[in-house]
Amino acid sequence: MTHPVRAAIAQQIAVNPKGRITFAEFMETTLYHPEHGYYATKAVNLGSPGDFFTSVHLSADFGELLAEQFFQMWEILGRPGDFSLVEMGAGQGVLAVDILKYLARVYPDFFASLNYIIIEKSAALRKLQQRLEGLKVQIKSDLTEIPPNSITGCFFSNELVDAMPIHQFILKAGQVQEVYVTSSGEDLSEVIAEPSTDELIKYFDLVGIKFTDDYPDGYRSEVNLAALSWMKAVADRMQRGYVLTIDYGYPAHRYYNPRRSHGTLQCYYHHTHHDDPYINLGEQDITAHVDFTALEVQGQRYGLQPIALTRQEMFLMSLGLGSRLAALSTSNQPLEQILQRRQVLHEMFDPAGLGGFGVLIQSKGLTEIESAEGLRGLEGETKVKTL
């Protein structure tokens, strides 16, 4: 029996005059089809039962350490009586619960001033998040539901940008050609043709990449135009505060290194990963690494000033992860529980895993004094760093 997502993709291809769709359109349908896409049916089971896990699923520590950073942001901005935390792509709502419970217990004054807004595209996940409404959480389906220039606070995301639909391209005789998806009977296949939009070419000017003779013929990678639109939407809605983006990725010069000739696209299915997006349609996650240079430069175009690009391991250690580890040496818990907790905390800052994720912080509307106030999570950082 044909999977409904496969049927939806076949219909898109059939009605297209050229008999093909971009990879971004394919990925959008596969992941975000409102009834049958991955995030409508499978993402409600993230963590151990699902296809992958994030820092959020390890323990409450990740959310509590982020809460420490949000509290300091509130203080730097002068303790405004109306401070919004806007979590974009909240998944099952686990992170929101950890942050809000911690703030209510440790920083009640901050909690009293807090508006917590979730932006969630998936109707299935929004339904799951409804249990949070008793914790003063508002749930919205899109950033367009937030008025322009209205937010004082922090927009933040954890592993959101990597799941945005990406265009794929191939270099042929030094020229950028786009990868399209077409069908032949029941099988999906690829065709190569001219780019579907000039924005693909402009993207490389934006991030400062020139395809020289060092790049092999057939070089293949990705472009995330959706991330540029998202960054603009966030900047337009920020009046004063911060944007915090946590994800796996590289600056452009590393992302588009001539030696990384097959791109970064990965598929996750039952805690295994591979690089074939045309199987398990609607049943597997599809991701690509984040180009942090694109987020920085696009942010600057719309008023967001880059503060720092660092790694999650250093960010969390500066917020107190090291102290939590040290406290285990004097804990009265049973040894087995201490060892389990130590393992969980180590996973969050393992540089070969979650600790190697990038943390990009940008700001808008800060005074000179506020801008000079260093964030705890960036201790030792004096400017935008290269990962």
pTM, two decimals, is 0.93
Classified by CATH at the fold level, domain 45-164+227-255+287-378 comes out as Rossmann fold (3.40.50)
pLDDT at position 52 is 54
Q: Does 233 have pLDDT greater than 90?
A: yes
Tell me if 316 sits within 8 A of 57, measured CB to CB: no
Q: List residues bridging with 171 in a β-sheet.
A: 176
Tell me if 224 sits within 8 A of 339, measured CB to CB: no
Q: What is the crossing angle of helices 335-349 and 61-76, to 10°? A: 50
Tell me if 163 sits within 8 A of 287, measured CB to CB: yes
pLDDT at position 387 is 57
Least confidently predicted of 134-148, 165-179, 227-241: 134-148
Tell me if 151 sits within 8 A of 84, measured CB to CB: yes
pLDDT tens, 188-224? 999 999 999 999 999 999 999 999 999 999 999 999 9
**Amino acid letter, 373:** E
Of 354, 224, 290, 281, nearest to 42 by C-alpha is: 281
Using 50, 70 and 90 to split pLDDT, how confident is the model at 46? Answer: low
Q: Is the C-alpha dihedral spanning 271, 276, 280, 286 positive or negative?
A: positive
Of 80, 143, 145, nearest to 365 by C-alpha is: 80
pLDDT tens, 77-128? 999 999 999 999 998 899 999 999 999 999 999 999 999 999 999 888 898 8
pLDDT at position 47 is 47
pLDDT at position 138 is 94
Measured from the Cβ of residue 22, the count of other Cβ atoms closer than 10 Å reads 22
Q: Is the C-alpha dihedral spanning 41, 44, 47, 49 positive or negative?
A: negative
Distance from C-alpha of 303 to C-alpha of 321, rounded to nearest angstrom: 32
Say how far residue 334 (Cα) sits from the centre of its chain. Answer: 36
Average pLDDT over the chain reads 91
DSSP 320: I
Distance from C-alpha of 210 to C-alpha of 207, rounded to nearest angstrom: 9
Q: Does 386 have pLDDT greater than 80?
A: no
Long-range contacts (CB closer than 8 Å, 24 or more residues apart) made by 101-104: 101/60, 101/135, 102/60, 102/63, 102/64, 102/67, 103/67, 103/70, 103/71
Using 50, 70 and 90 to split pLDDT, how confident is the model at 380? Answer: low
Domain ranges of the chain: 45-164+227-255+287-378
- Collect all residues with Cβ–Cβ distance below 8 Å to 214 and sequence separation of at least 6: 258
DSSP characters over 159-210: S-GGGS--EEEEEETTEEEEEEEEEETTEEEEEEES-S-THHHHHHHHHT--
DSSP 216: P
> Is residue 238 within a helix (H) or strand (E), and if so which, with residue range?
strand 238-247
